Structure 1
Amino acid sequence: MAITAALVKELRERTGAGMMECKKALVETNGDIEVAIDNMRKSGAAKAAKKAGRVAAEGVILSRTGNGAGVLVEINSETDFVARDENFLAFANGVADLALEKGISDVETLNATEMASGETVETARANLVAKIGENITVRRVTKIEGENLGGYIHGGRIGVLVNMNGGSEELAKDVAMHVAAANPQFNKADDVDPAVIEKEKSIIRELPDMAGKPENIVEKMIGGRINKFIGEITLEGQAFVKDPSTTVGKLVKAAGADVVSYTRFEVGEGIEKKEEDFAAEVAAQMGA
């Protein structure tokens, strides 16, 4: 497989390692980026595999809650300048209000629904594109129903909805704020995919400090590190951002509550953005 500049760039972003280290790792794995990340972690070339999170689009995340339901909506623009434009924000807020009012949970239905102006969302979007001169998209919407819903928006770029049984509105909002800041991969330990745990075990087993130790000691060390790993990637196990002396799980349990689920949106996550200068730099160095 050809080792492209884009592949090297992605590995560099996800591991924080040097460019030539990334190129070497990819050559050794014939371009398999996931295996390259595992090998780099085992050798110490990468301390941790960072989430890719290739943010390409600008825009806003909006949330609305009411009458036992909540929605999160992402609306994208090409530039941050337009994302702050009053016409764009008026459109985005109108779409979020509509999504909650009509209980809409998919973009196709949302685009076909009439706004207060009498235009469908899609028509209003197209008219706004013509007015502003920049592409705008209603990218995604989700709906949550529950007993106690908490919403939190950070800077218009990260949005979270938490569905909680029991507790208070303030607690639900605090948990949503934590999810925005810490971005846990799973809600509870029982939710962690066994494959994720097995993969982490295999990586830990190959670390230099495991070499030469008796198997029973290795297993004990792996068990301790896996427990720590699960705490780091689950909402219930993470130290609460507003009070690191306790975990989110303990905080919620003390209030007699339970987090049923949560949803987190970040502007542009997963959309690749072209960065010509960097790619050209990588290509030039690889060619050399």
Structure 2
Amino acid sequence: MAAISASLVKELRERTGLGMMECKKALTEANGDIEQAIDDLRKNAGLKSAKKAGRVAAEGAILARVSEDGRVAVMLEVNSETDFVARDENFKNFANEVANKILDTKNEDIAVVMEGELEEARVQLVQKIGENISVRRAAVVEAPQDGIVGAYVHGDRIGTITVLKGGNADVARDIAMHVAAINPAVARPEDMPQEILDKEKAIILAQPDMAGKPAEIAEKMVQGRLKKYLAENSLVNQPFVKDPNTSVAEYAKTAGGEVLSFLRFEVGEGIEKEEVDFAKEVMEQARRS
């Protein structure tokens, strides 16, 4: 029997839109012949799923879970083609099953998590609902021995996890809510990537009031504005959303906590959605008729 390479599985996935395990099984049964595997897939119910998988699934839901001891949090994005399907109970039940397994196994590798029954359930859901359903990404976040995690999901569209050293569950969740609302760039000023600072510096130097300034004066102005930029975009320095007179760092400190990091998911972020010009489409159809 021919060895089934990862690249062969990847090619079949791209050509059919089916799940990894289903593609690997088809290739194994076809002894590595990708064209035979496609022909075989056309003979079973998997083809219905494959036809729909070509459509962009950029809607869906974000789910989050926190372990009973408050030291592990997981977050998951499951996508559908429409927000209508994302509200369907069958979709929600499936997404909950995946999230629970991720928390149970502490495994964020989607291919491994979906292997077996969950992948079969996904294919059956696609066939039942009539839309492409995909499990896009997952994250497992653990707090240090003396820390705690918090999670918050807003309207199934935005999910956040925060990690604190010390503190308590309520404070961690409150700060997670802040992250969902304000969307900071980094947790601390020192976490800001240098390339972003360089870009911001270039923008500042190009501003009209910098023209003709002596180098030392310009540099002082740049550093002052960069400091303000970092304060506005760093979680710990932002005014806490529930009490603007207190910074997030100060709020955490009231419970003996210190913010270490955060994670934020938003449904469909980074997915290139297909833009359809319906007027153009109708005109083209009219010309062909």
Q: Same fold (TM over 0.5)?
A: yes
> Partner amino acid for 2:151?
G
Contact persistence 1:60–1:267 (CA under 8 A): yes
Q: 1:29-80: CA deviations, max 9, x gaps?
A: xxxxxxxxxxxxxxxxxxxxxxxxxx97110000011132111011000001
1:131 aligns with 2:128: yes
The equivalent position to 2:140 in structure 1, one of 137, 140, 143, is: 143
> Partner amino acid for 1:58?
E
Distance 2:252 2:277 in 1: 47
Q: CA RMSD of the aligned region, Å?
A: 1.8
Paired position in structure 2 for 1:110: 113
Return structure 1 stretches of 4+ with deviation > 3 angstroms: none
Distance 1:220 1:154 in 2: 41
> Partner amino acid for 1:74?
E
The equivalent position to 2:75 in structure 1, one of 65, 72, 77, is: 72
Structure 2's unaligned 5+ residue stretches are: 1-55, 281-289
The TM-score normalised by the length of structure 2 is 0.72
Distance 1:278 1:143 in 2: 41
Contact persistence 2:57–2:82 (CA under 8 A): no
Distance 1:161 1:109 in 2: 23
Distance 1:250 1:121 in 2: 43
- 1:14-163 matches, within 5 Å, as 57-66=58-67, 67=69, 68-112=71-115, 120-146=117-143, 147-163=147-163
- 1:225-240 matches, within 5 Å, as 225-240=225-240
Contact persistence 1:56–1:269 (CA under 8 A): no
Paired position in structure 2 for 1:252: 252
Q: Residue 279 of structure 1: CA displacement? A: 11
Q: Residue 175 of structure 1: CA displacement? A: 0.7
Identity of aligned residues (%): 51
- Please give the secondary structure, in 1, of the residue aligned with 2:138: strand
- Please give the secondary structure, in 2, of the residue aligned with 1:236: helix
Distance 1:208 1:278 in 2: 43
Distance 1:175 1:85 in 2: 30
Q: Residue 165 of structure 1: CA displacement? A: 1.1
> Partner amino acid for 2:66?
T
Distance 1:238 1:192 in 2: 14
- Please give the secondary structure, in 2, of the residue aligned with 1:276: coil
- Please give the secondary structure, in 1, of the residue aligned with 2:273: coil
- Please give the secondary structure, in 1, of the residue aligned with 2:235: coil
Distance 2:244 2:151 in 1: 21
Contact persistence 2:66–2:149 (CA under 8 A): yes
Paired position in structure 2 for 1:216: 216
Find the structure with the greater CA-based Rg: 2
Q: Give the count of matched residue pairs.
A: 220
> Partner amino acid for 2:59?
E
> Partner amino acid for 2:234?
T
Q: 1:171-217: CA deviations, max 9, x gaps?
A: 10011001111111111111112222122112111110111223332
The TM-score normalised by the length of structure 1 is 0.72
Identify the range of structure 1 (84-93 vs 96-105) with the bigger mean alpha-carbon deviation: 96-105
